[in-house]
Amino acid sequence: MTIRQATIARTTNETSINVSLRLAPGDISVSTGIGFLDHLLTALATHARLSLELIAKGDLHIDDHHTAEDCAIVLGKALDAALVDRRGIARFGYAYAPLDESLARAVVDLSGRAAAVVSLDLRRPTLGTLACENITHVVQTLAANARAAIHLDVLRGENDHHKAEAAFKALALALRQAISIDGDEIPSTKGVLAS
């Protein structure tokens, strides 16, 4: 089987992001300058069973938006590239993940068509130095650049840290299913996934 991996770099006037991704278990190192984003992306890679190195330098003196968004752009592009033509993947994945009192659900379709419906019910303005609105934006941006449909909901919870982390763990578990190898065909009645 082909090694499913990609290395993507992106530099703008706002950020410089480097991602190396392999769709198999391995080392994980995430450094964005935003502690809670590091926490979420590390949880995503850990529970999706990915090998990930993500290094970001951004204009955090402005705020967290550009760095969070650009990390999701580059990670999404790396996932898309590592999937190649998506031959043999399971394509669909779904999972529930609890974290104490919080419960999240994720459903993923690696169809090649981007869509994101995200409802996290976060009430605080920030978690650490990451704006809660940017947590939703990271998932939406990841979906757009990975060319995936992602539905992600927090079904219950009181603690925003728990809700956000449960959501990323559920997304990781659904993604782990969807990227798993389940044959040698393109998983589509069309015989091709959107490109």
61 Cβ neighbours under 8 A, 6+ residues apart: none
What the block records as the tokens of 93 is: 């994945």
| pLDDT for 183 | 87
Q: What is the pLDDT of residues 48-98, one digit of tens each?
A: 999 999 999 999 999 999 999 999 999 999 999 999 999 999 999 999 999
Residue 59 and residue 66 in contact, taking contact as beta carbons nearer than 8 Å: yes
Break the chain into its structural domains and give their ranges. Answer: 5-179
Decide if domain 5-179 falls under CATH 3.30.230.40. yes
Which residue in 24, 39, 43, 53 sits closest to 170, CA to CA?
43
| pLDDT for 107 | 98
pTM of the model: 0.96
Q: How far is Cα 33 from Cα 17, in angstroms, rounded to an integer? A: 11
**Helix ranges restricted to H, the chain:** 35-48, 65-82, 132-146, 160-179
